[in-house]
Amino acid sequence: MWRILREVARHRRVSEALPEPACEWQREGQRIQHEILRVLGRALAIREVDAGSCNGCELEIHALNNPYYNLEGAGIRFVASPRHADLLLVTGPVSRHMETALRRTYEATPAPKLVVAVGDCGCDGGIFGEQSYASCGGVARVIPVDVAITGCPPAPIDLMRGILAAVTARPPD
């Protein structure tokens, strides 16, 4: 135990300040954000859905929980069920084999709900293309999307900015 304590004492607090929300990434369909904030304050429950990514985006989403970004410290948690979620964070492209599962997850999420599409693939299919026999392309082709975060993969700081943009009460300019 003393080794663990010594290791804990060795490191200062590394969590960094939250970035500014990227309001310029807001899209049509953000109409419910005022409502979310009114109902939830700043606590936010996110359900992550991998709808066909290469897993690169997931690696950076994982990083949000490391001590540097400390997303939980900002009152934002990843939850295990869409029924507990305010926001779906969806990576793509949406494979046709995940289309139904994604739609069901969306339906199971209680309204009001937000959807953030992650990565170039989540935005428009990215390198895997717009549509094919096996892929539906971007997330918005399957469920409504509020904010789309580009990048391959987006860096954690951009993920945070996009998530904050989705929940920030400021309407699009």
Q: Are 65 and 78 in contact (CB under 8 A)?
A: yes
Rounded to 10 degrees, the C-alpha dihedral 65/69/74/76 comes to -40
Name every residue whose Cβ is closer than 8 Å to that of residue 67 and which is 6 or more positions away in sequence: 13, 14, 15
* Cβ atoms < 10 Å from Cβ of 143: 21
**Closest distance between ligand SF4 and the C-beta of residue 121, in Å?**
3
Nearer to ligand SF4, 4 or 127 (CB): 127
| d(C-alpha 20, C-alpha 109), whole Å | 27
Please give the residue ranges that form the binding site for other proteins (CB under 8 A): 3-4, 7-8, 11, 14, 48-63, 65-68, 78, 80-81, 93, 95-101, 105, 126-129, 131-135, 152-153, 155
| Residue whose C-alpha is closest to residue 110's, from 139, 138, 89, 81 | 81
Size of the site for ligand SF4 (CB under 6 A): 12
* Window 72-131: residues binding ligand SF4 (CB under 6 A): 91, 119-121, 126-127
Q: Are 43 and 121 in contact (CB under 8 A)?
A: no
Residue 62 touches which member of other proteins, ligand SF4, none, C-beta under 5-8 Å by kind:
other proteins
Rule CB under 6 A: choose which of 54, 63, 79, 157 binds ligand SF4. 54
Q: Are 54 and 121 in contact (CB under 8 A)?
A: yes
* Cβ atoms < 10 Å from Cβ of 148: 22
Q: Does the footprint of ligand SF4 cover residue 56 (CB under 6 A)?
A: yes
**Closest distance between other proteins and the C-beta of residue 28, in Å?**
27
* Window 140-159: residues binding ligand SF4 (CB under 6 A): 152-153
**Closest distance between ligand SF4 and the C-beta of residue 5, in Å?**
38
Give me the residues paired with residue 116 across strands. 89, 147
Rule CB under 6 A: choose which of 26, 53, 135, 168 binds ligand SF4. 53
Which residues of this chain interact with ligand SF4, rule CB under 6 A?
53-54, 56-57, 91, 119-121, 126-127, 152-153
